[in-house]
Amino acid sequence: MGLTLSPSEGSLQENAPLAALTTWRIGGPARFLCRVRTETALARVLATAAADGLPLAILGMGSNILIADAGFPGYVVRLDGDFLSVTIDGERVRAGGGAALGGVCAAAARAGLSGLEAISGIPSSIGGAVRINAGAYGGEIFDVLETVRLVSRSGERRAVEASQIRHAYRNTELVESREIVSEAVLKLARAPREEIEAKTRGVAEKRRGVLPSEPNAGSVFKNPKDDFAGRLLEACGLKGRSRGGAMISPRHANVIVNTGGARAVDVLGLMQTMRDAVAEKFSVTLVPEVELLGLRWE
């Protein structure tokens, strides 16, 4: 490996542990953990990985990902430095791909800008939220997304209007193209700060009442059309089912928690049990919402 980064570009660590960087607290090490601070450095890392023939994955807030117990045999990239910036110009918020969605929502609220309240509690980076069109409580990020800057896996950079990106429920064409969001511009609307804060508090209270306190990755499966994965799973009587240190939450049937020492193979096994039970009872095939890193969905 000939890749080197200056301190202004980022850092590179070999055999880096990843579990602590995920909300599930599960997963083995990355062969290379690369923290990049500039778009130029990111493009160079991507081009190097492509030339080396090594796999590459982006790790945002680690909130929607299951990493294999054996780890990942290539580059795991985290966006730092320039990618964490958040600036406000009138009714627009410009945010780096690595900026926390919660921080962007808070900055918008302080500026009296509305439009992000419904998704304010999602533990995601801006880039990760755009990539899967993150949403909750009737809102999604593409409702307010205006433009994005993208970096391809070969290191090519481009800017594109959000309307040109195919997107649907919890999915966009970026999942297939594997382009990385380096920056996003959100177009919001003026509103009284008190009104924004009240809506945000309401969303936070709803989330607190639903999600368990143990380490988890939120919803495991996407909602099927005109239904809810949680409802189907609960009807299958799967709450509390466990494997190793992983358990289907007694509070929410579409959430798997790490009760202590859970392995990726435990979580994956439970996910397959959940999928098979719903398929048998309802003839509905559930699709994972969490991303699998170093694992195969079979």
| Digit-coded pLDDT (tens) for 56-76 | 999 999 999 999 999 999 999
Of 31, 157, 170, 231, catalytic? 170
| Digit-coded pLDDT (tens) for 114-168 | 999 999 988 899 999 999 999 988 899 999 999 999 999 888 999 999 999 999 9
Q: Do domains 10-81 and 213-293 have the same CATH topology?
A: no
Mean per-residue pLDDT over the chain, rounded: 94
For 213-293, CATH number? 3.90.78.10
Of 39, 219, 249, 275, catalytic? 219
| pLDDT given for residue 208 in this prediction | 77
Q: Where are the domains of the chain?
A: 10-81, 85-209, 213-293
| pLDDT given for residue 204 in this prediction | 87
Of 39, 183, 289, 291, catalytic? 289
pTM comes to 0.89
| Digit-coded pLDDT (tens) for 214-267 | 999 999 999 999 999 999 999 999 999 999 999 999 999 999 999 999 999 999
Active site residue 219: yes
Active site residue 170: yes
| pLDDT given for residue 1 in this prediction | 55
Between the CA of residue 27 and those of 14, 69, 75, 196, what are the distances in Å?
Answer: 15, 5, 15, 37
The residues pairing with 136 across neighbouring beta strands, listed in sequence order, are: 139
> How far from chain centre, in Å, is Cα 41?
22
For 85-209, CATH number? 3.30.465.10
Architecture of domain 10-81: 2-Layer Sandwich (3.30)
Model confidence at 108, in pLDDT bands (50, 70, 90)?
A: very high
Active site residue 114: no
Rounded to an integer, the average pLDDT of 192-205 is: 92
pLDDT at 2 over 90: no
| pLDDT given for residue 78 in this prediction | 96
| Digit-coded pLDDT (tens) for 257-298 | 999 999 999 999 999 999 999 999 999 999 999 999 999 998
Percent share of the chain, pLDDT over 70: 99
